[in-house]
A and B are shown apart, each in its own frame.
Chain A
Amino acid sequence: MRVLVSFIAVLLLVVIAYAGVEAANLRFLFGVIIPYAAFIIFVGGMIVRVLKWGSSPVPFRIPTTCGQEKSLPWIKQDKLENPSGLLGVIGRMALEVLFFRSLFRNLKTQLSDGPRLAYGEAKWLWLAGMAFHWSFLIVLIRHLRFFTEKVLVPIQMIEGLDSFLQVGAPLLYLTDLVLLAAVFYLFLRRIGIPQMRYLSLINDYFPLFLIFGIALTGVLMRYFTKTDIVSVKVLAMGLVSFKPAIPEGIGVLFYIHLFLLSALLAYFPMSKLVHLGGVFLSPTRNLANNNRMKRHVNPWNYPVHVHTYQEYEDDFREKMKGAGIPVEKE
């Protein structure tokens, strides 16, 4: 049900773009206005989201420690998994953001008769996650070729590496395949594992379908239909130079691709996809475990009612004296 709703929602987006461009001929709307609006929502929305996170303080220093603490000098500290200083934190965060360190730890727990619990390697999720995010990033970087007059050298290098197999015409980009395969795997995993299916929401399926749609339309344009790249570049250059123009000869597939991307951008700040920014702010990862060395200040710390020693002694003075415990007031 949730799968179907998500699928239909993305399909509907495709139909809207198709109808808007083919039937209603709203090329300026779909080629200029919606992309601009989506971009503004994306940037503005992400700024608002991050500011909101930032406006809530971090009252306590609560890193999840995943290794030996810094204590006695002869005990080897695990500086990456349990950092006590800035460098260690940077290292820990770099591993987390670039290589999904924590996901790499993933295990599969299995119960068999006995009872006997066994913990097996489970790196597929990590691998698919890495494949998905990295290939998406590379695809995105490759698209920068549409936004500069001359294609920048680093982008040419990335394109060269990405097409190193030298097959097909136009040359096959490896990341196109990897991206589609990874998204497909992440989808299969969601519907294939009973627990995953049980916990997944529309919020999970919709972005998968959306991204798959974006990638698929891109692949279709590059490898299967003829797309007027020159015109697309004119459109893209118009957008970034704030002189938007709609050149002739761009097929509807491109508008669908662009509309789905716009939908993704607009959806981004109000969805789980904000983990892109949130991962940097997680207080269980981005703080040093130096609590007892350096005092952490809570901006909203306030005085509380306590039961003082004097009150305690008043309650128990005679019993204390009887047990030979020294008291303040005789």
Chain B
Amino acid sequence: MAKFPKPEELSNIDFAPPRKGWMDLPVEFKPGMFCHGSKPKSLEAVGFPNPRDWKPADADWKLPENWKEIIIEGIAERLRKYRSFRLFMDICVRCGACADKCHFFIGTGDPKNMPVLRAELIRSVYRKEFTTAGKILGKMAGARELTLDVLKEWWYYFYQCTECRRCSVFCPYGIDQAEITIIGRELLNLLGLNIEWIAGPVANCYMKGNHLGLEPHTIVGNLEYMLDDIETITGKRIKPTFNRKGAEILFVTPSGDLFADPGTYTAMGYMMLFEELGLDYTWSTYASEGGNFGFFTSNEMAKRLNAKLYAEAKRLGVKYIIGGECGHMWRVIHQYMDTWQGPADFLEVPKSPITGTVFENARSTKMIHIAEFTADLIKNNKLKLDAKRNDHLKVTWHDSCNTARGMGILEEPRYILRNVVNNFFEMPEDTIREKTFCCGSGSGLNASEDTDLRMKGGLPRANAVKFVHDRHGVNMLANICAIDRATLPPLMDYWVPGVKVAGLHELVANALVMKGEKERTTDLRGEPLPGLEQKEEKAS
């Protein structure tokens, strides 16, 4: 990080487009702006084509002889399969409304990061190969040949899109660059052109049940550490169960919550809440991943990884599933899972055993979001909450892209937040809810080698946090996404030092008054509670 540019330098962005037209400007692989290429063993684990050692910056990508044919046939197949793709190839008028809505364009000024141009990268080839005008008129009709340079450009820019859908909110035809990126990445994967930060977790998730490759005993061990901490803080020993048949509920969360802070504090929060309710639930070490890096690879891979959720629910004989805090996990569960794996007729319509509320909104998929579950508990007065325990925090709320624009879970977390913290300040309205900004590292781009890209793409989010930090002294950025919990802390350290990051249920558990707990002196992070700082000092 020694040579890493300072914020003042990084935010000095040149928005002037190059003199040369974009079709003739070959891609330049700038260090810090892209991830390592996929390793052969990661592709082999899931049977993906063309496993080999390769480096994106190398001239030779070691592609199969007929790579062009594979891509063109791949496009044809996807035009037949997806109306979205066919339509989005045809109807864009290039009005440019999407251009300055993309966090990567705002943070880099690179015109190929305007969603419209990102789409044109593939659209130009579509015109050349699949439209009469493009075949005859070529460049005059906005068409161009698929060359190795074009392929490299696709790779560079489809891994500079986090599939956040913000552009789609502003598009008059609802053209969704996420959909185009998803299909673009599928095409690249036909040639083994993934990034290792996605391919590795996919292989892990396939073989070991979760992205991080946590083996069953490690999951239990990690949770034990958290349970020790919970005991220290509350005096209560919690005993969760794993792979338990006959439990009422299967609980699935992104594995990031089991691995590193601040996600682990969120996991502690889940367990404390469930303990307090006496909920009949189980963890699974097999279905130990709610997130789905397959979704950043191909539709088929996403389905292959997602299959274990229903399979495990069926094997254990649970009634329904509760899902933890995660962004893209919820886009997949909400918009894809039932279609891929349903109907889930072996499960029951989710009904809260505490309040009796039937979750009609999940009557087919039979999986509810923990924020829906907790909001219902609070509304029905089932939790004893002491928001003062969070008084050392001034909190703002980051809507995660996928839950905001691929689901619409906006009010539930805010309702919970208002009940568990006393100091809650919203960021400017054009940066929250459906207009929320991505953390800059979603869709599998949260590696370390692309830190430049992440800090640039995260600028709009960070800048909105800075606004409430400067104005209200906000020091905590709360969210419901595991990738956010992993990627926002370095983003905050870079752009807005002094702001920490927390999952919603960490804050819930801070405020949750548990039966028979000892008087708490610290929050889940071991930091002294407000009013008790002096006691701490005296004691020490």
Contacts and interface: CB of A to CB of B under 8 A. Distances in A.
Contact of A202 (B140, B242, B299): B140
Q: Size class of B's contact patch?
A: 35 or more
Interface stretch (A99-107, A142-150, A175-183): A99-107
A203 B142 contact: yes
Contact of A294 (B168, B364, B372): B364
Nearest to B100: A109
Interface string B114-155: 101100100000000001110000001110000000000000
B94 A272 contact: yes
Interface string B327-348: 0000000111011101100000
B411 A301 contact: no
B73 to A, nearest CB: 16
A286 to B, nearest CB: 8
A298 interface: yes
Interface stretch (B213-221, B386-394, B516-524): B213-221
Contact of A108 (B22, B100, B179, B308): B100
Contact of A324 (B81, B87, B220): B220
A281 B169 CA distance: 16
Nearest to A119: B430
Nearest to B172: A103
Interface residues of A, number: 98
A102 B15 contact: no
B95 A125 contact: yes
Given A72-B357, A72-B376, A75-B415, A282 B173 contact: yes
B84 A203 contact: no
B239 to A, nearest CB: 11
A65 B401 CA distance: 10
Give the residue among B170, B206, B365 with the most A Cβ atoms within 10 A: B170
Contacts of A329: none
B86 A52 contact: yes
Contact of A309 (B22, B308, B379, B431): B308
A62 B407 CA distance: 9
A270 interface: yes
Interface of chain B: mostly helix, strand, loop or mixed: helix
A292 B404 contact: no
Contacts of A200: 94
Give the residue among A74, A107, A111, A279 with the most B Cβ atoms within 10 A: A111
Contacts of B511: none
A304 B303 contact: yes
A196 interface: yes
A66 interface: yes
A129 B172 contact: yes
Interface in A50-64: 52-62, 64
A199 B96 contact: yes
Interface string B76-101: 00011111111100111111110111
Interface stretch (A26-34, A213-221, A315-323): A315-323
A296 B100 contact: no
Interface string B288-322: 00000000000110011001100110010000000
B339 A300 contact: no
B422 interface: no
Contact of B16 (A125, A194, A301): A194
Given A64-B168, A281-B87, 19 more contacts: A52-B86, A62-B84, A65-B434, A68-B408, A102-B174, A103-B97, A107-B430, A198-B18, A199-B111, A204-B94, A270-B132, A283-B84, A295-B342, A295-B343, A312-B208, A316-B216, A323-B221, A325-B285, A326-B242
Interface of A: 5, 49, 52-62, 64-72, 74-76, 78, 81-82, 84, 96, 100, 102-103, 105-109, 111, 114-117, 119, 125, 129, 193-204, 270-272, 274-275, 278-279, 281-285, 289, 291-298, 300-301, 304-309, 312-313, 315-316, 319-320, 322-326
21 contacts: A53-B83, A61-B339, A65-B434, A72-B375, A72-B412, A107-B100, A117-B106, A117-B464, A196-B96, A198-B21, A198-B111, A199-B114, A201-B142, A279-B91, A283-B83, A284-B168, A292-B338, A293-B362, A294-B364, A312-B286, A319-B216
